[in-house]
Amino acid sequence: MDQMTLVRDRSDALYEPVSRLMTREDWERNFADDIRAILRLKRERNAVILAHNYQTPEIFHCISDIRGDSLALAREAQNLDQQVIVMAGVHFMAETAKLMNPQKTVLIPDSMAGCSLAESITATNVRAFKAAYPGVPVVTYVNSSVAVKAETDICCTSGNAKKVVESLGVPRVIMIPDEFLAKNIQNETGIEMLTWPGHCEVHERFTPLEIRQYRRMHPGVVVLAHPECPPEVVAEADYAGSTAGMMEFVAVKQPQKVLLVTECSMSDNLAALNPAVEFVRPCNLCPHMKRITLASIRRALETMEEEVTIPDELFAPARRAVERMLAV
């Protein structure tokens, strides 16, 4: 086989996972050059790319090695062989990967990729909250800074929040910073939640009226909602779960038509994997997740910036809160 044939065959295999979402010409014009460069750089740098389910399809399907929800990314971060970890996700996810890999280089392609939940609360806020309710355990959603995690008894994600809260065996917990996740878990478990008024700027925008309108326009549509949505929205859904939970639901049940009440790229990524399922697409983009692009990932691998660091004094307590979660 000559060199040209080799290159072509390899690029065909790279295009195939997104072939249902874009034409070959679009892929070649807009993405192929960065994708080939990133794959080369990954080998040269001994790097691994972790991608959250909200990443765009060309990142999710064409260059990432490990994909998943926050829980899967935190779990997988414990078992990596490579020396360099690139987080195609938001900053708190990169911090969690660093907590699990203190000796490795963790890169975030854009350090401005934040999260409205993580930004809603500080360590000082948590200390004041704890002082007002002495003895009540603090469960912190992983969508938070390391400084906040360091003040915490145990972390949780949307994928394990119920299990984590129930594992504490108490009637009342402080659950921060997502008010809606806490209220949704309170509804599921009956355990009283002392909450913080933090919201996800993507999920707080969905309304029950909007879901009812989609149901009228698309009779029979199956509605899946993320638990960061307000409880009144979750009450309108057929299922509520983490991004990985939604993916599994669609993969296993293969509903004819589905509405994902969450970030837009989830529908694109799932459409590529489930050709028999029709996706109704309400489009709420996470501007933080969308800061991560092929270009920024390529630049991160070329320059080895920006590296995630964690202050020494926060490291042990923040890691303990994540490890406790992973042990549940």
**Binding stretches for ligand 13P (CB under 6 A):** 53, 69-71, 143, 157-159, 200, 226, 228, 242-243
199 binds, among ligand 13P, ligand SF4, none (CB under 5 to 8 A by kind): none
Q: What angle do CA 71, 205, 282 make, to 5 degrees?
A: 80
Number of H helices, E strands in the chain: 16, 12
Q: How many residues bind ligand SF4 (CB under 6 A)?
A: 13
For residue 237, which amino acid is it? A
Segment holding 179, helix H or strand E: helix 179-189
Give min distance, CB of 183 to ligand SF4, in A.
16
Q: Which of 42, 183, 288, 319 binds ligand SF4 (CB under 6 A)?
A: 288
Q: Which stretch binds ligand SF4 (CB under 6 A): 272-280, 282-290, 299-307, 313-321?
A: 282-290
Q: Which 3-state string (H, E, C) describes 208-252?
A: HHHHHHHHHHCCCCEEEECCCCCHHHHCCCCEECCHHHHHHHHHH
Closer by beta carbon to ligand SF4, 157 or else 186: 157
- Alpha carbon 206 to its chain centroid, in Å, reads 18
Q: Which of 85, 148, 289, 321 binds ligand SF4 (CB under 6 A)?
A: 289
Q: In what order do the strands lie in the sheet with 84-88?
A: 66-68, 47-52, 84-88, 105-107
Q: Which stretch binds ligand SF4 (CB under 6 A): 130-138, 145-153, 182-190, 283-291?
A: 283-291
Residue 257 three-state SS: strand
Nearest to 39 by CA among 66, 2, 6, 14: 14
288 binds, among ligand SF4, ligand 13P, none (CB under 5 to 8 A by kind): ligand SF4
* Overall size of the chain counted in residues: 328
Residue 269 three-state SS: helix
Q: In what order do the strands lie in the sheet with 138-141?
A: 154-156, 138-141, 172-176, 192-195
Give min distance, CB of 94 to ligand SF4, in A.
12
Residue 117 is a binding residue for ligand SF4 (CB under 6 A): yes
Q: Which of 236, 263, 268, 306 binds ligand SF4 (CB under 6 A)?
A: 263
Give min distance, CB of 89 to ligand 13P, in A.
8
Q: Which stretch binds ligand SF4 (CB under 6 A): 57-65, 80-88, 179-187, 196-204?
A: 196-204
Q: Which stretch binds ligand SF4 (CB under 6 A): 198-206, 211-219, 273-281, 295-303?
A: 198-206
Name the residue with tokens 């004819």: 256
Closer by beta carbon to ligand SF4, 56 or else 255: 56
Bridge partners of 192, per DSSP, are: 172
Closer by beta carbon to ligand SF4, 75 or else 205: 205
Residue 119 is a binding residue for ligand SF4 (CB under 6 A): no
Nearest to 261 by CA among 183, 200, 316, 187: 200
Q: Which stretch binds ligand SF4 (CB under 6 A): 15-23, 144-152, 189-197, 284-292?
A: 284-292
Report how far residue 125's alpha carbon sits from residue 185's, in angstroms, rounded to the nearest whole number: 22
Query: Interface residues for ligand SF4 in 202-221 (CB under 6 A)?
Result: 202
Residue 200 is a binding residue for ligand SF4 (CB under 6 A): yes
Closer by beta carbon to ligand SF4, 102 or else 287: 287
- Which distant-in-sequence residues (6+ apart) come within 8 Å of 47 by Cβ? 41, 82, 83, 84, 85, 86, 107, 301
116 binds, among ligand 13P, ligand SF4, none (CB under 5 to 8 A by kind): ligand SF4
Residues at the site binding ligand SF4, with contacts judged by CB under 6 A: 90, 115-117, 143, 200-202, 228, 263, 286, 288-289
